[in-house]
Amino acid sequence: MMIHSHLDSHEEGRGIATKRDEAKYDAILQAAIEVMAESGYHHAQISRIARAAGVADGTVYLYFKNKEDILVSLLRRSIGHIVALGQARLGKLTNAEEKLREIVSLYFEQLGANPKLAMVTQVHLRQVDANIRREIGSIMRPFYDALDDIVQSGIAEGVIRPTVNRRIARRMIFGTMDETVSAWVLTGSKYRLTDLTDDVVDVLLHGLSRGTGYGSTGADVQDAAQNAERSVEA
Amino acid sequence: MMIHSHLDSHEEGRGIATKRDEAKYDAILQAAIEVMAESGYHHAQISRIARAAGVADGTVYLYFKNKEDILVSLLRRSIGHIVALGQARLGKLTNAEEKLREIVSLYFEQLGANPKLAMVTQVHLRQVDANIRREIGSIMRPFYDALDDIVQSGIAEGVIRPTVNRRIARRMIFGTMDETVSAWVLTGSKYRLTDLTDDVVDVLLHGLSRGTGYGSTGADVQDAAQNAERSVEA
Amino acid sequence: MMIHSHLDSHEEGRGIATKRDEAKYDAILQAAIEVMAESGYHHAQISRIARAAGVADGTVYLYFKNKEDILVSLLRRSIGHIVALGQARLGKLTNAEEKLREIVSLYFEQLGANPKLAMVTQVHLRQVDANIRREIGSIMRPFYDALDDIVQSGIAEGVIRPTVNRRIARRMIFGTMDETVSAWVLTGSKYRLTDLTDDVVDVLLHGLSRGTGYGSTGADVQDAAQNAERSVEA
Amino acid sequence: MMIHSHLDSHEEGRGIATKRDEAKYDAILQAAIEVMAESGYHHAQISRIARAAGVADGTVYLYFKNKEDILVSLLRRSIGHIVALGQARLGKLTNAEEKLREIVSLYFEQLGANPKLAMVTQVHLRQVDANIRREIGSIMRPFYDALDDIVQSGIAEGVIRPTVNRRIARRMIFGTMDETVSAWVLTGSKYRLTDLTDDVVDVLLHGLSRGTGYGSTGADVQDAAQNAERSVEA
DNA sequence: CATGAATGAGTGTTCATTCAT
DNA sequence: TATGAATGAACACTCATTCAT
């Protein structure tokens, strides 16, 4: 998997404090997650974030250009982290199926381990203005590229059907993961997100249709009755 | 298809004007679409919407509880319309595959025919507060239910694999459609959304994996080379 | 005297409230004079002005574009008033000397009758940004034009020396009046500004120099000893 | 000319750094002129002044009490310089007319040679708070005193009319010079300020009125037509 | 039903000043 | 002396909502 790496240096975007207290930077970001997860982007006053971080209001502006910059930096850091992990883990894998499972697992694992961060990325991040959405898009790009690479290499390996519309394939992968995480967040993060990995990968790989003779996975041994029992999720 | 209908009476939610000038209600809703599509939710002042609708500011509050209610009513109306159409069209179909294709087609057709509405539902609707998102969920319910029905009946018919996680299946369907429409909107609505129906249904039904001997669709005759050419979309 | 009249319609500049409560407009302006005279421009919070005017903060913005607009409107109104009075009074006079005396008298009378307004125009008005100073210049123009007209007509009548640099003559007239009013304001408005009219006009007309045989005025009978006694002013 | 000298020791006012690096003190003052002339008082951040002076922000406070103190020190230094020059030059003159011409010439020469300084003293200096204006008054005192001395000695010599109101005479002199410099600054410092000396002195000495038989100066040979041509100034 | 003038709560951001090093 | 990171007070302005007419 070729994960593009220009976002690894996820600090570049700051452009304000080149060499200030890194712990303070982290504290503000963490405080922002806490406050935003609780109150949403628009109701998360800078003064509350500052207080939660243990700094003065003005200090926030030594580390971030403005309030939106905090949000963008949050996403940049978390996506950057996921992408970096992906580079490390997926590099060792050769099979597209394994790569897909790994990236889904990674995504669920990362967001599943931090419900507040997930709340911010899945819900509050979307409350911002159009111009910020553009920047968000550019931050997500490396992740999208990683998904595209998986599809592309899978086709090359003969593991993925060459006839799928690749862009749509990518959107299916991301859309399914995104919808899954959002549902998990909005229902209170009550179950383990990673538990869904196999089911998600199964449906992504094999679709809904009962074809004839396609390769069955371990998941297939579950029958419809069992399926109906899974009710942890709302 | 069992589309739950309690939201069809989409006027119930108003609770303000039981039977006022219906044309004025529509005018405000239409004005809201225009203004929000252009400026986003937060920059769409009530006064601008009122002016665009040809009514006074105060009049808006005779028809809607508040600004968010306009947004919610927009969604209620458009989803209600789609659900109603779905009831009509899917009722005649017996095959789950056909139903899936029909609902995807219908969704793309409705939003594809109204880019401004799509802009509002895909982008601006998400800028609202968390508490409103709950209401949005309840509005979407009938549509989700329709998708669930398709999955459920598909399994009963033996068309859909009984082993798929049904909730995840539904999220895959909706997530893929949603992501597809969002991408279309955010790149300027430059191509025909309905042109993607077949490719979307193909990947939903058969997944990514090149299994052995699953039933191929007409789409399958496209080869990788052709796939690479599809560049209408950004 | 040809006083250019485009500023008579001193309400045009508002451009916000075309037909609102005129009494409210006046109340805000008067409140602004009170508050600014006491605290200066920068310390005159909109909320204090609003409270003093008996309106809500937001109402101020129904009548004025922003805080600077209040200041500019103040000047526009007071200078406009002086210019309008000048048109009425100077129109009846034919002699440039009389016109000069009249306009000095008028200026001192108007500002002398309203020390708080004078405090604002002489002190606080100058605390604003460069861009506003430009607008202030355009508001003062008609007054400068009136002074120019007096000089010009005086020369035509043979009353004013044709060799004086007209622009400098105007600046002397205005500079002397301005300096006189400022001194009066800054020392607490303790004496009657209009009492200085004759002495000011005398020095403007005849200068400092003891020429030989120039026409003496009544003021000339005051001798140096008396002059030294005038100590009301700081 | 009796120029009171207690402000010559313009360092007294500092009260902070008694004998620090004089070059640094100058550098900060010069940087302040540059930055303020460009951006105005309120937009001239201490940090920009410090950077322009090549020192740290905090260092500024080792030399100046606060931001206003920089402005006041600027005026103190420049007026002090003018007053000192005046003492040197006017001491040699015996005639009040010559003294007046010399001090006008000196004032125009000093400010005319430094448009940025003039911009600060004529425009930005006036943007300060009312309490500071009092201190400005005390700084200007020696200059006012010099003007008063000229008037006083002129009367004693029989050169200046004993009947002029002396305080008003002084205000006319200063007001005319001030207005002239301000106009020059605000129109872009495009002509030579010193070129106006003769015209200014002429009108100060002889006023506007065409009396009979007052002593004419060389300037008088200019006729009205020529006067009209002087259009260097805006 | 309709109006639209009036309301007033709510907050991101700047920057002069301080002080620990 | 000098630094510059940290501080935190201060406030104009917007706009959803109301209600007297």
DSSP track, chain A? -----TTTSTTTT--S-SSS-HHHHHHHHHHHHHHHHHH-TTT--HHHHHHHHTS-HHHHHHH-SSHHHHHHHHHHHHHHHHHHHHHHHHTT---HHHHHHHHHHHHHHHHHT-HHHHHHHHTGGGGS-HHHHHHHHHHHHHHHHHHHHHHHHHHHHTSB-TTS-HHHHHHHHHHHHHHHHHHHHHTTS-S-GGGGHHHHHHHHHH-SB--SSPPP-GGGGS-HHHHHH--S--
- Residue closest to sugar C1' of E18 by CA: D58
- Give the number of beta-carbon pairs within 8 Å between C and D: 215
Q: Which nucleotide is nearest to C21 (CA to C1')?
A: E5
Nearest to B178 by CA among B227, B138, B125, B231: B125
Q: What is the mean pLDDT of residues D109-130?
A: 91
The pLDDT-based confidence of C17 (bands split at 50, 70, 90) is low
Residue A127 has pLDDT above 80, yes or no: no
Name the minimum distance, in Å, from the CA of C137 to any CA of chain D: 10
Chain A positions touching B223 (Cβ under 8 A) are 162-163
Q: What is the DSSP string of B130-190?
A: HHHHHHHHHHHHHHHHHHHHHHHHHHHHTSB-TTS-HHHHHHHHHHHHHHHHHHHHHTTS-
pLDDT at B224: 42
Which pLDDT tens digit goes with each residue over A185-204?
999 999 999 999 999 999 99
Which pLDDT tens digit goes with each residue over A23-72?
999 999 999 999 999 999 999 999 999 999 999 999 999 999 999 999 99
Q: Which residue of D134, D141, D210 to mutate against C (max C Cβ within 10 Å)?
A: D210
pLDDT at A223: 44
pLDDT at A63: 97
Q: What is chain B's mean pLDDT, rounded?
A: 85
- Give the number of beta-carbon pairs within 8 Å between A and B: 214
Contact D175, C175 (CB under 8 A): yes
Question: How far apart are the C-alpha atoms of B234 and A134, rounded to whole Å?
Answer: 14
What Å distances lie between residue A112 and A105, A117, A140, B175, CA to CA? 10, 9, 18, 19
Are C176 and D172 a contacting pair at CB < 8 A? yes
Interchain contact B205–A (C-beta under 8 A): yes
The pLDDT-based confidence of D218 (bands split at 50, 70, 90) is very low
**What pTM was computed for the model?**
0.84
Question: How far apart are the C-alpha atoms of D203 and C55, rounded to whole Å?
Answer: 50
pLDDT at A16: 56
Residue B132 phi/psi, 5-degree rounding, is: -70, -30
What Å distances lie between residue B132 and B64, B113, C173, D54, D214, CA to CA? 15, 26, 67, 54, 88
Question: How far apart are the C-alpha atoms of C76 and C79, rounded to whole Å?
Answer: 5
- Residue closest to sugar C1' of E2 by CA: B59
Greatest mean pLDDT range, C207-216, D141-150, D223-232: D141-150
Residue A1 has pLDDT above 50, yes or no: no
Which pLDDT tens digit goes with each residue over A81-94?
999 999 999 999 98
CA C187, distance to chain mean position in Å, is 18
Interchain contact A221–B (C-beta under 8 A): yes
Are A208 and B164 a contacting pair at CB < 8 A? yes
Residue where the block lists tokens 């967040």: A185
Range name among A148-152, B207-211, C104-108 with the lowest pLDDT average: B207-211
pLDDT at B143: 96
Residue C230 has pLDDT above 80, yes or no: no
Which pLDDT tens digit goes with each residue over C80-120?
999 999 999 999 999 999 999 999 999 999 999 999 999 99
**Percent of chain D predicted with pLDDT > 70:** 82
Are B208 and A204 a contacting pair at CB < 8 A? yes
Interchain contact A47–B (C-beta under 8 A): no
pLDDT at D208: 96
The two tokens of residue C191 are 């004496």
CA C115, distance to chain mean position in Å, is 12
pLDDT at D69: 94
**DSSP code of residue D42:** T
Residue A151 has pLDDT above 50, yes or no: yes
Contact C104, C177 (CB under 8 A): yes
Nearest to B100 by CA among B150, B167, B141: B150
Contact B90, B105 (CB under 8 A): no
Contact B106, B143 (CB under 8 A): no
Chain D positions touching C214 (Cβ under 8 A) are 209, 211-214
Q: How far is the CA of A62 from the C1' of F5 (A)?
A: 9
Question: How far apart are the C-alpha atoms of B125 and B73, rounded to whole Å?
Answer: 11
Amino acid at A193: L
Residue where the block lists tokens 């100034």: D233
The closest CB to that of A215, out of B40, B211, B228, belongs to: B211
Residue B19 has pLDDT above 60, yes or no: no
Greatest mean pLDDT range, C17-21, C44-48, C208-212: C44-48
Residue where the block lists tokens 């070059």: D23
pLDDT at C130: 74
Question: How far apart are the C-alpha atoms of B213 and B164, rounded to whole Å?
Answer: 19
Q: Which nucleotide is nearest to B53 (CA to C1')?
A: E2
pLDDT at D227: 52
Q: What is the mean pLDDT of residues B193-210?
A: 96
pLDDT at D133: 80
Question: How far apart are the C-alpha atoms of D178 and D188, rounded to whole Å?
Answer: 16
- List, in sequence order, every residue forming a beta bridge with A209; answer none if it has no partner: B160
pLDDT at D182: 95
pLDDT at A17: 53
Q: What is the mean pLDDT of residues C76-81?
A: 94
Interchain contact B167–A (C-beta under 8 A): yes
Residue C159 has pLDDT above 90, yes or no: yes
Residue B169 has pLDDT above 90, yes or no: yes
Residue B209 phi/psi, 5-degree rounding, is: -70, 140
Q: What is the mean pLDDT of residues D207-220?
A: 60
Name the minimum distance, in Å, from the CA of C22 to any CA of chain D: 31
Are B210 and A178 a contacting pair at CB < 8 A? no
Q: What is the mean pLDDT of residues D162-173?
A: 97
Residue A160 phi/psi, 5-degree rounding, is: -110, 140
